[in-house]
Chains A and B, each alone.
Chain A
Amino acid sequence: MQLIQKYEEEMALVRGWAGWMGVALLAVALLGAPWLLRGYQLYIANIIGIKIIVAIGLNLLVGYTGQISLGHVGFVAIGAYAATHFVTALERAAFFQWLGGPFWVALLVGGASAAVFGVLVGLPALRLEGPYLSIVTLGFGLAVQQILINWPAVSGGRIGLFVPTPRIGPWWLDTDRSLYFLVWTSVVLLSLVAFNLTRSHVGRAFVALRDSDIAAEVTGVNLRYYKTLAFAVSAFYAGFGGALEAYVIQYLEPTMFNLYESIYYLAMVVVGGLGTIPGSMFGATLLSLLQFGLSRAQEYLPVVYGAVVILVMAIEPLGLYGRWLKIKLWSKTWPL
């Protein structure tokens, strides 16, 4: 047991030698993975990275701010299509031809355009709560998908939309290994942003308005600002994840962004543990692995997936991270 003497120590991102060991192990694992894993496994790792990004964003909204979103896949779709069209348009411009279209800008464009829609969806959230908010977000997710299906200019109609391969100057990011670095650098950066956000005054404002919005407002938290901010940030993560997904899968069609995807994302957050960022990482990893592990027995996937979700909720309502905290506490006080 270590003694905390200063406020900075309490707020530190990594605590003690055990924490640093963990970070070092994680860094070695992340850097070693592209050489240990092969082809399809790297593709799975990339998809898991994308799911982690979206799940963290969703957790900032659902777990920290307490606003339900049942249409999160709408933001993912907006990010994916915005980034793809941005890159395709720039590729035609002669100036950018040798650059191959600045795809890193496209990632930000994907995130930013989703964030704009996040603000738009966040506005009704100022007046609505609980199930009423859930139907609005659900409607948003369905509307995005239906509009994409009925707007061939954007979605590419029946053929779908092919995503240009990203490249930095002469380097093409056309293998799963090169994409791995793009995806997981983004995962690390965006997780750091999320960790820092949650331990800053913004994160405290989110938690305050989740626990009691009236009390938060009385103590001076600007509800309008922070609620819409939460939606914008969450949508940014989803849009960024969507843009990455476009690069990894290299093909987009509206049916990829259906209601079930939204529920899968929500399940990742809840199974991992609401209001914890490591929880979202656990949840996203576990449920994505489950999805890929069952790819041979595709018809049993929904049954097993649903059963796992129910089982986790029955055994550990706080999610996987809650169980991890209990184990940690138990090991600290051992052998008592």
Chain B
Amino acid sequence: MFFWQLVVSGLSIGSLYALVALGIVLLYRTSRVLNFAHGDMSMISTMVAYSLLTVAGVAFGPAAVLTLAAGFALGALFYFFVLRPVKEATLLGQIITTAGFSLVLSGLAVVVWGADTKVLPFPLSRAVVYRIAGVSVNQVALGSFAVAVVAMLGLYVLVQKTRFGLAMRAVSQNDVAARVLGIPVRRVFAVTWGVSATLGAIAGMLLAPVTLVNPSMMFDPFLKGFAGAVLGGLDSLPGAIVGSLIIGVAENLFGGYVSTSLRTTVAFLIIIAVLLVRPEGLFGHKFMRRV
């Protein structure tokens, strides 16, 4: 029973890692950029949510919607004002640019909101515990799992069933050809950045009851999401979900049975072992190159 308890709570935290991972994979698929500012963008969105809820006194529903909009705007603005000007930079240069943006955002958060830890007023409570088939689940874990699943379904519909999703997939396959065919590539990139940051904002708000709100709250979840994305294969959206769930369950099992202090190390050891067997991740496409 202890085992299943650990698995269930691992799935719950893993679904939040999956939201982070989906944002990373979505961007990587379309623009081949690894966004190291992803965690800090989510953190800023969560800070906005905190301000809306406590300072401005907005109700939770409208505040959540406004937060997601703020996240979207942050992502799109980053694309237009930071990443486009450095288009000429190499891949590593772009990674460094996002890392620089991450420093700017975490620094701004300290300057604007302060480095202290805050509590986000959240409508669900961790004290309310349901027992399902002998496994106890608290309200926050259940709620965040449900929201994460809804967000994933929404992303699936957006990417696979809409005209815009078709354009996104076209751009990710070949952006020059997509431009020739009349797809507004820049707009697609900007919206992709926005959607990715929105997913991050959802993850940040759902993580707030667990990690509390402070400038480094997304550091660990970002690393886990990144790890999950790599484990699943960086160009596969289902892979990101599966990889993150594996990370969540594995680190929870290790924490439950062996020790909690080396959890992150073990998560990364698993990834290294998997990558040695499958260098392209569990669901990724094999590297192919013309010579």
Interface-centre pick from B28, B91, B96, B279 (highest chain A CB count, 10 A): B96
The answer, yes or no, to whether B111 is at the interface (CB within 8 Å) is yes
Contact A313–B89 (Cβ < 8 Å): yes
Residues of B within 8 A of A271 (CB): 96
Q: A300-B107, A303-B104 are in contact. Are A147 and B99 (CB under 8 A)?
A: no
Chain A residue, CB-CB nearest to B266: A143
Return the CB mask of A116-157 against B: 1 if under 8 Å, else 0. Answer: 000000001001111110111011101100110110000000
Contacts of B139 in A (CB 8 A): none
C-alpha spacing A192/B272, complex, angstroms: 35
CA distance A271 to B101 in the complex (A): 14
With CB as the reference atom, state the residue of chain A lying closest to B110.
A299
Complex contacts, A147 vs chain B, CB 8 Å:
262, 265
Contacts of B275 in A (CB 8 A): 124, 127-128, 132, 135-136
Q: Please determine whether A215 and B291 come into contact, CB atoms closer than 8 angstroms.
A: yes
B276 proximal to A (CB < 8 A): yes
- Pick from B92, B94, B102, B111: contact of A306, CB below 8 A: B102
Task: State whether B86 touches A270 (Cβ < 8 A).
Answer: no
Residues of B within 8 Å of A274, CB to CB, are 90, 92
Any chain A CB within 8 A of the CB of B268?
Answer: yes
Give Cα A303–Cα B105 distance, bound, in whole angstroms. Answer: 7
Chain B contact residues, majority secondary structure: helix
Query: Given contacts A142-B223, A147-B262, are A317 and B93 in contact (CB under 8 A)?
Result: yes
Evaluate contact between B272 and A136: CB separation under 8 angstroms. yes
Taking A129-B287, A143-B265, A274-B90 as contacts, is the C-beta distance between A299 and B271 under 8 angstroms? no
Q: Which residues on the B side are within 8 Å of A150 (C-beta)?
A: 261-262
Q: Is the CB of B107 within 8 A of A139?
A: no
Structural contact, A317 and B279, CB atoms closer than 8 A: no
| Chain A nearest Cβ from B108, distance in angstroms | 6
- Judge whether A267 and B289 touch: CB under 8 Å: no
The answer on a CB contact under 8 Å between A302 and B106 is: yes
**Given the complex of chains A and B, what is the CA–CA distance between A269 and B107 in angstroms?**
22
Q: Which of B52-60, B169-177, B226-234 contacts A (4 or more CB under 8 A)?
A: B226-234
Q: Which residues of B contact A127 (CB under 8 A)?
A: 275-276, 279
**Docked CA distance A130–B280 (Å):** 10
B100 touches which of A128, A149, A313 (Cβ 8 Å): A313
Within the complex, the shortest CB–CB distance from A78 to chain B, in Å, comes to: 15
Which A residues touch B10, using CB under 8 A?
A: none
Q: Is the CB of A214 within 8 A of B101?
A: no
Binary contact track B20-56/A, C-beta < 8 Å → 1, others 0: 0000000010000010100000000000000000000
Most A CB within 10 A of own CB, among B28, B101, B230: B230
Count of chain B residues with a beta carbon within 8 Å of a chain A beta carbon = 49
Interface residues of A in 84-110 (CB under 8 A from B): none
Interface residue? B85 (CB, 8 A): yes
Name B277's closest neighbour in chain A (CB-CB): A127
Q: A267 vs B101: C-alpha distance in the bound complex, in angstroms?
A: 12
Shortest CB distance A154–B (Å) = 14
Q: Binary interface profile of B, 184-215, with partner A (CB < 8 Å = 1, else 0)?
A: 00000000000000000000000000000000
Q: Tell me which residues across on chain A come within 8 A of B34, comparing CB atoms.
A: 131, 134
- Max count, chain A CB within 10 A of own CB: residue among B34, B103, B268: B103
- Collect the chain A residues with CB atoms within 8 Å of residue B99's CB: 263, 266-267, 306, 309
User: Quick one: which of A295-314 are within 8 Å of B by CB?
Assistant: 299-310, 313-314
Q: Measured between alpha carbons, how far is A157 from B89 in the docked complex, in Å?
A: 43
Q: Count of A residues near B, CB < 8 Å?
A: 45
- A62 at the A/B interface (Cβ < 8 Å)? yes
Q: How far is the CB of B199 from chain A (nearest CB, A)?
A: 18
Choice from B28, B86, B91, B281 contacting A310 with Cβ under 8 Å: B86
CA distance A302 to B272 in the complex (A): 31
Please tell me if A52 contacts chain B, counting CB pairs below 8 Å. no
Q: Is A68 an interface residue (CB 8 A)?
A: yes
Tell me if B86 and A317 are in contact (CB < 8 A): yes
CB-defined contacts of B102 to chain A, threshold 8 Å: 306
Known: A128-B279, A139-B269, A146-B262. A317 touches B90 (CB 8 A): yes
**Residues in chain B near residue A305, CB distance under 8 A:** 100, 103, 107
* Alpha-carbon gap, A142 to B219, bound state (A): 12
Structural contact, A132 and B106, CB atoms closer than 8 A: no
A143 touches B279 (CB 8 A): no
**B157 close to chain A: CB less than 8 A:** no
Q: Point out the residues of chain A lying under 8 angstroms from B105, CB to CB.
A: 306
A308 to B99, CA, bound (A): 12
In the assembled complex, the Cα of A138 lies from the Cα of B36 at a distance in Å of 12
Instruction: Give chain A residues whose Cβ lies under 8 Å from the Cβ of B279.
Output: 127-129, 132
* Nearest-neighbor residue (CB-CB) of A303 within chain B: B107
Whether the pair A68, B92 counts as a contact (CB closer than 8 A) is yes
**Does B116 belong to the interface (CB within 8 Å)?**
no
**11 pairs from A and B in contact (CB 8 Å cutoff):** A124-B276, A143-B268, A150-B261, A303-B104, A303-B111, A306-B102, A308-B100, A310-B82, A310-B100, A313-B96, A314-B86
Interface on A for B, CB 8 Å cutoff?
A: 62, 68, 124, 127-132, 134-136, 138-140, 142-143, 146-147, 149-150, 214-215, 260, 263, 266-267, 270-271, 274, 299-310, 313-314, 317
Known: A143-B268, A306-B102, A310-B101. 19 other contacts (CB 8 A): A132-B234, A134-B34, A138-B223, A138-B268, A139-B268, A139-B272, A140-B268, A142-B223, A146-B261, A263-B99, A299-B111, A302-B103, A306-B99, A306-B107, A309-B97, A309-B99, A310-B97, A314-B82, A317-B90
CB-CB nearest 4 A-B residue pairs: A139-B268, A302-B107, A306-B103, A309-B100
